[in-house]
Structure 1
């Protein structure tokens, strides 16, 4: 999927409820969430689901939970770089029904206090995950579509390692650890694969957006 008509900066283009406009001047151009009158996360999901998803619902903050990433550190977390805690969105229906899984990777710079939580709460992957859980109400009031329940997991990096990208909490997409950075044997992707496989047994901190100490 390639969209080249949205004048956003290096950001997630979003719908119109954000104060940071799409083509904002100066530092506003660097905001990671920008008001572009364009639902970037939604368009990505519709692309994946071949345009068959129904309209998004409302964010249920009680479905956002911190979980412990320490079991996924691997042999050397200075290379893997996972923070202790990350967030997962689990619609209530997913405790009893089979749900799809979406993994959302943050960009660089989300190691600064509050930035990661702000991003997770601001992206509307969660609203799209909640779409189908509104059941009969959605069926009668929304555009007809496929109701696909989703768990959304937001893996989180900390400042780690020695490279400037790692210190900013960037994922290893620049080959900082060598030519095998994109292979299955590199540190980060096996950690995420294990995280995905272990979804039912994650150590959940049941306190929504209040980060555990």
Structure 2
């Protein structure tokens, strides 16, 4: 079903304006929610990611961009890094239908090397120690099997000995496979979770982490809300919800040393839509997390009229040209959430030298940031100089906090 991955999208500018009162209220709510999170004993270096469809593409680019802190990835119906190359048309054709030809893995490998040389993603040599699981359905007509084959070729270049590919699984459409939850395994329909007699989440986690304890039959932990607006100013302007979710096992909340797994939903699977909580509750991860000391994070996107009507994660560039790098707002937000849950700095991967030195902070509307030379304009959006993070619309109505971390280098951050 093409609607899960995109629908008919165009690059129209979103009209997102926030008053100072609204913004202050959002920041207060975010601070209150963030403060309510339990103190967790998490090993950031034992973090992993997975995702379905658009979430699979997001998981791939997050895995590549932040490979220095990740253990591995599970990809359900996705394709190679930077497949769309900033083009919606390429996303809808090459990267999904495989027409006129499926993605070129060699081209994706060269793009990875180019980004790494520019310092916008982590060193891809980190991928050599990663463990990867790939899953593709034989009857997937949204992200067709040859696209998954290209993803396998891409990962084989980096992780040849630690990759498992469940290839062209019979009777499986474009969905998240579970043992017994969801709709018909061969029908791509809401909630895009299928009864496939196959534990996709469990197999992915076992590939990444090795031998696992059996999953729990009754969850003993709890779900918590994550104030995403605490980690990304004006999140709606980036197609991001104010609130994300996490499942925290009781053992982790009690202080046990735990690891973290981030799951990116597919298009239309965001919690504020018709799917509701079904993806983050029933995709199959939490039962394994409960008995294996894994905190599961479910970041949430939302629709944006014109640019992203189906609430997809940005893997083709609707939120700016640097969508596949560490500078991308959505990517930065998730990294900040990881750091925050682990009790670390919420800088989204800023250079160590910048973290250790004093920084100068500026709070102003985006028009003033551009006028003062701290940002520049791209397609009606203000991008921070140096990091190229998308600050939202180039407008006096959008206020952003910028921290200067180097000469003509600014990052979005919380100011004192």
Q: What is the match of residue 11 of structure 1?
A: 175
Q: Secondary structure at the match of 1:102?
A: strand
Pick the aligned partner of 1:154 from 291, 298, 311. Answer: 298
**What is the root-mean-square deviation of aligned Cα atoms in Å?**
2.1
Give the distance between the partners of 2:178 and 2:228, measured in 1 at CA. Answer: 28
Query: Does 1 or 2 have the higher relative contact order (CA < 8 Å, sep 6+)?
Result: 1
**Does 1:73 pair with 2:232?**
yes
Structure 2 Cα separation of the partners of residues 192 and 22 of structure 1: 30
What's the CA shift for 1:80? 2.8
1:200, 1:177 → 2: CA distance? 27
> Which stretch of structure 1 is more off in the superposition, 190-199 or 76-85?
76-85
Aligned to 2:317: 175
Q: Deviations over 1:11-45 (max 9, x none)?
A: 00110244x12124xxxx32310111101111111
Work out whether 1:22 is the aligned partner of 2:185: yes
Which residue, 75, 85, 108 being the options, matches 2:243?
Answer: 85
Is the contact between residue 72 and residue 194 of structure 1 (CA under 8 Å) also seen in structure 2? Answer: yes
Gaps of 5+ in 1: 132-147, 202-213
> Shift of the alpha carbon at 1:59?
4.0
Task: Tell me, yes or no, if the aligned pair for 1:109 and 1:170 is still in contact at 8 Å.
Answer: yes
TM-score of the superposition, structure 2-length normalised? 0.40
Q: What's the counterpart of residue 46 of structure 1? A: 206
Greater shift in the superposed pair: 30-39 or 54-63: 54-63
C-alpha change, 1:17 and 1:195, in structure 2 (3 Å) is: closer
Matched, 1:104 2:267: no
What does residue 400 of structure 2 align with?
none
Q: Do the aligned partners of residues 107 and 17 (structure 1) sit closer, same or farther apart at CA in structure 2, a change above 3 Å counting?
A: closer
Mapped contact 1:59–1:126 kept (Cα < 8 A): no
Q: CA separation of 1:180/1:37 partners in 2, compared to 1, >3 Å: closer, same or farther?
A: same
C-alpha distance in structure 2 between counterparts of 1:115 and 1:17, whole Å = 14
Change (3 A) 1:2 1:116: farther
Verify the 8 A CA contact 1:130 1:149 in the aligned structure 2.
yes
Q: Which has the higher strand share?
A: 2
Deviation at 1:181, TM superposition (A): 1.2
- What TM-score does the superposition give when structure 1 sets the normalisation length? 0.74
Unaligned stretches of 5+ residues in structure 2: 1-163, 344-416
| Cα deviation, residue 6, structure 1 | 3.8
Q: Where do residues 178-193 of structure 1 align in structure 2 (5 Å cutoff)?
A: 178-193=320-335
Matched positions, count: 176
CA distance in 2, matches of 1:102, 1:159: 24
Tell me the CA shift for residue 77 of structure 1: 2.6
Quick check: 1:107–1:171 contact (8 Å CA) kept in 2? Answer: yes
CA radius of gyration, larger in: 2
TM-fit CA distance, 1:175: 2.5
Moved segments of 4+, more than 6 Å: none
